[in-house]
Amino acid sequence: MFTDANADKIVFLNFVSYFDSVLNVSAIVSKFTSSTEDCQFLCMTTLNCLSVNVAIGSDLSEGRHLCQLLNTTKNSKRDDDFKPSDTFHHFTTIVSPCFSQPCQRGGTCHQDYGMETFTCQCVHGREGKLCEIGTGWSKVNINGSVCFGVRDDSYGNVTVQVTGKVITAKLVHVSGSVANSRAADGGNWGNPRSRQIRTVITSDANEVLLPHNYTAYEPYTLEGYASMSPELVFPNASEPASVPRGMGFRIWFVEDLGNYSEQDNSGESCVDMFLFYV
Ligand SMILES: [Ca+2]
Ligand SMILES: [Ca+2]
């Protein structure tokens, strides 16, 4: 819990609190809950719930508080629907724009709760609203990690956010594992007992881009890395390539890409993909 910088509101989880206030509209659901947090949780798990009124006083027999789930917010209603109250506190959900991690290249997102906007605090050498200007690693998948499977064309999709010149890419393992046969254990990028790597990056036309000079759809070795490495950093290209916003990349397990020996595979790995801008 922390206090909003510009108001006397207190932010708990992703709710803004308005004590001794009520939004006087019809509830989509009214229930008794044991605490304000339980009421907020009920709202978060109820479709269309955008705010709640929670009774200050409890039901004397049960010790529970009336919880009204509302499908609107004070900002979307007439002013006279939102009023001081002796009997209710009001809490409004905020959909934080920081949840989608908009700040690139290690920038830190700061939510402005009053305005429901954000600012990016960029690391040294980066600038721009999203820290998109400057050189260095930039995460391409900004809405959570990207997962790829091992059979039936279950590649992972990544879309470029920032136009620029790129010299290489890296994949950082986040979760999961992939196995290339029933007998093999799962690894980050392939069989953990092998140095060989079975994960590649292609264009959205399935042309293999990384590793470079890769033609057969086969496991490969990458100097300094193996199938359990936490990340794969591909060697720099001989010269930078132009990468436009909107360009698609795919992350593939090689047997799935080559359509061989894929039906005995299992698992899924989830990764972050970064491009190095120059
Ligand atoms: Ca396939
Ligand atoms: Ca196989």
Its pTM stands at 0.59
CB 53 within 8 A of CB 77: no
The rounded Å distance from CA 254 to ligand 2 centre is 10
What is the whole-number distance in angstroms between the Cα of residue 179 and the centre of ligand 1? 14
CA of 207 relative to ligand 1 center, distance in Å: 14
Minimum mean pLDDT range among 23-27, 44-48, 123-127, 187-191: 123-127
User: Which of the two residues, 99 and 140, has the higher pLDDT score?
Assistant: 140
Residue 190 C-alpha to ligand 1 middle, in angstroms?
16
Residue 198 has pLDDT above 60, yes or no: yes
Q: Does position 275 have pLDDT exceeding 90, yes or no?
A: yes
Chain segment 1-31, per-residue pLDDT in tens = 333 443 333 334 578 899 999 999 999 999 9
CB atoms within 5 A of ion ligand 1 belong to: 153, 256, 259
Output the CA 21–ligand 1 centroid distance in Å: 58
pLDDT given at position 235: 96
Distance 183 CA to ligand 2 centre (A): 9
Cα(6) to centroid(ligand 1), Å: 54
**Cα(270) to centroid(ligand 2), Å:** 19
- The string of pLDDT tens digits covering residues 48-85 is 888 999 999 887 667 889 999 998 888 766 777 899 99
Distance 7 CA to ligand 1 centre (A): 55
